[in-house]
Chains A and B, each alone.
Chain A
Amino acid sequence: MVDASGSRRADVLVKGEVVAAVEPGLSGGGHGTVVLDAAGCIVAPGLVDLHAHLREPGAEEAETIETGARAAALGGYTAIVAMPNTQPATDSAAVVRQVLDLAKGACCDVRPAGAITVGREGRLLAPMAEMAALGVRIFTDDGNCVQDASVMRRALEYASGLGVVIADHCEEPALAGAGWMNEGELSSLLGLPGRPAVSEEIVVRRDLALARLTGARLHLLHLSCALAVAAVREARAEGVAVTAEVAPHHLVLTEEAVGSYDPVFKVNPPLRTASDLVALLAGLVDGTIDAIATDHAPHPLEAKQVAFSEAAPGMVGLETALGIALGELGLPAERVLALMSWQPAAIAGLAGFHGGPVAPGAPANLCVIDPSRRWKVVAAALASRSHNTPFAGRELTGKVRHTIFAGEPVVIAEEAQR
């Protein structure tokens, strides 16, 4: 059993929605108790994803809250933050309520993030207090960068009064907007217009300066380049209240994948270079980056089987994130779980509900991980409604065997139960 307080050998007894006992040699809970085999496995607090696009309302052909939550549970998540770039955008209490309603009965906790601005247009502040009253803790215009520095400043100031977090998609559209891949040697050869890493660095540095000015809590979404990691490291040393996440694909894939012109590898921010991978991993190791978040971005086949210019950016990740993080980063399991469970839980304001610790009386949101399970990613076998994974055919090591959400085994032996 691994949680923030360390690791130990123990059995876990769940009664109702809470953990009843954690100790070695527990012998069942009486008649009717479901016993889940965890031999050779890690029992851990359920994973928490800060960054999932569930597409509902508005693009149910790509994903729904139900299918996205099922994919998440299969990936070990007991809570996911649903990005607000829906149609309509999650920029009002009404849409927040709709998402929360649709999430009832889902395989995991679905927490909507609210938009910072009305329609995610970057002009007028969305009613953050009304959404915060419904439990929204993260606000972002993700997919769009908040372009206007004044709007970003006011959003940070306003949010600080509500105790919520402003999260930014850091890419300056004037520099990145026309591009479809990382700008550099390879884009020059391929003839594809590029999104330079500095377009990310510029916004990261602006946002850090505004966070310093306002004292507000800032979260930086899907950092992809060495320049951004360096900026965050400096700001943390200064004491700026910033957290940051990185996506699995940015940790193990480089722009070389785009050489095939396969739009499955088109994503914003784009896949970068090998030296960026090294810097992002160093950021995970030294604590500059707090979380691994999927940026799960489902798109139907027809949105990807088109010219690279016209393809929708993004890739699914909920079902592969843990396998990538455990098997390919060379990090100890405790560190991976910190990055995927209790640290993101704290950022999302879910501490106490998700992310452990696993102790008597705590909510029973758990996952059971077989760290040595080898498996091959089969795109068509994914539970997500869309299959745009960049890892199709890849052999991963480490898979979730069981997931327990609110005391219920929603995944047993790698099979979803609802």
Chain B
Amino acid sequence: MTPQHLLSVADLGPEGIDEVLRLADTFVEVGRRPIPRVPALRGKTVASAFFEDSTRTRLSFEAAAKRLSADVMTFTSSSSSLNKGESLRDTVLTLEAMGVDAFVIRHSCAGVPAQVAGWLESAGAASAAAGPGGAGGTGGTSGAGGAGGASAVTGPRGASVLNAGDGAHEHPTQALLDCFTISRERERRFGHSPARPAVLSGLRIAIVGDIRHSRVARSNVIAFSTLGASVTLVAPPTLLPPSLCGWPVEVSHDMDGVVAKSDVVYLLRLQSERMNEQFLPSLREYTATFGLTAERARLLGPSALVMHPGPVRRGIEIAAEVADSPCSVITTQVANGVAVRMAVLYLLLGSGAQVGA
């Protein structure tokens, strides 16, 4: 069963991820049409509520929603009532009162999408209980997939929440588009089509850099390993999470050795403020030790892919000539982002109608 919300990439499971990737194939095709638009979500409203600046992800989600013919409402904190003292919860409930089928939430604090999902569900349960017809709503439609409850039977389920990045927790659609990019790019380049759903089976993927503060790393560790890849984290110990107990990963501090034997080298963005917080002595030292310099890139295998979630800091995480070389699929990631987000929106909001037409 499709989850109501996408808070963690783990909500999908291997079959769910595979379904997103296969839907995304369709939407890539849609994107190539003269009019890249399908009526799949006509009449649905998607609110993108970004409480942290992120033009790229927001535009990608909005493009995806528009190509599915959904109506889009945009809320960004810089231009918002948050500046007038309205709470996050009131903002969400206000938008919901206007009629929203899906919230795309970005926030600098981990857990906000989960909180929003909880607020929407308890508000929905309250209005169902108070609603006309004396249905006697049992209240407490507890969590996604709760089958019981009057409202679940008699009415459409409440708004979905899509996590578009919460603090250092998760960024599920980034992980999905990364899985899609690796899988389809390898198919395109090397022609082989691995057994599904473990579409990354046997691949060695290195994630390099500020794992500690990275939501992209957390989602990708889950998604890559769910699809059968083996993941190695490469970072100085200060930029690893305090505990990796239970993580399906290996850890290395030897960038050269890992680069030489990886099928995918995934570089994370490094924020300059990490120096002020004593995570690192200097950017120069970071680049020398963990950057994908032109010299280090020569160690890459012939079929290796280089990835980055953006925005790229050329000369820090990756040398400019490596970012522009054939092994880099950084712009492909961005291109695939729209199709993958269309797939996610369609999966969560679609009525099951055909995509085509």
Seen from chain A, the residues whose Cβ lies within 8 Å of a Cβ on chain B are 183-185, 187-194, 196, 260-262, 302, 305-310
Contacts and interface: CB of A to CB of B under 8 A. Distances in A.
Indicate the member of A184, A189, A262, A308 with the most B CB atoms within 10 Å. Answer: A189
B242 A187 contact: yes
Indicate the member of B118, B243, B245, B246 with the most A CB atoms within 10 Å. Answer: B243
A191 B168 contact: yes
A32 to B, nearest CB: 48
Contact of A309 (B109, B118, B241, B247): B109
Given A183-B242, A309-B167, A191 B89 contact: no
B115 interface: yes
Given A185-B243, A191-B169, A306 B110 contact: no
Given A260-B118, A307-B115, A310-B109, 20 more contacts: A184-B242, A185-B243, A185-B245, A187-B243, A188-B243, A188-B247, A191-B110, A191-B218, A192-B110, A196-B242, A260-B114, A262-B115, A262-B118, A302-B87, A305-B89, A305-B119, A306-B88, A307-B112, A308-B115, A309-B167
B58 interface: no
A188 B241 contact: yes
B242 A194 contact: yes
Indicate the member of B215, B218, B241 with the most A CB atoms within 10 Å. Answer: B241
Contact size class for B?
A: 20 to 34
B107 interface: yes
Contacts of A261: 110-112, 114-115
Given A191-B168, A191-B169, A191-B215, A308 B110 contact: yes
B87 A191 contact: no
A245 to B, nearest CB: 28
Indicate the member of A187, A188, A308 with the most B CB atoms within 10 Å. Answer: A188
Contacts of A193: 168
B88 A307 contact: yes
Contacts of B243: 184-185, 187-188
A274 B23 CA distance: 43
Contact of A185 (B89, B110, B168, B246): B246
Contacts of A196: 242
Contact of B167 (A184, A188, A191, A260): A191
B249 to A, nearest CB: 12
B105 to A, nearest CB: 11
A193 B241 CA distance: 9
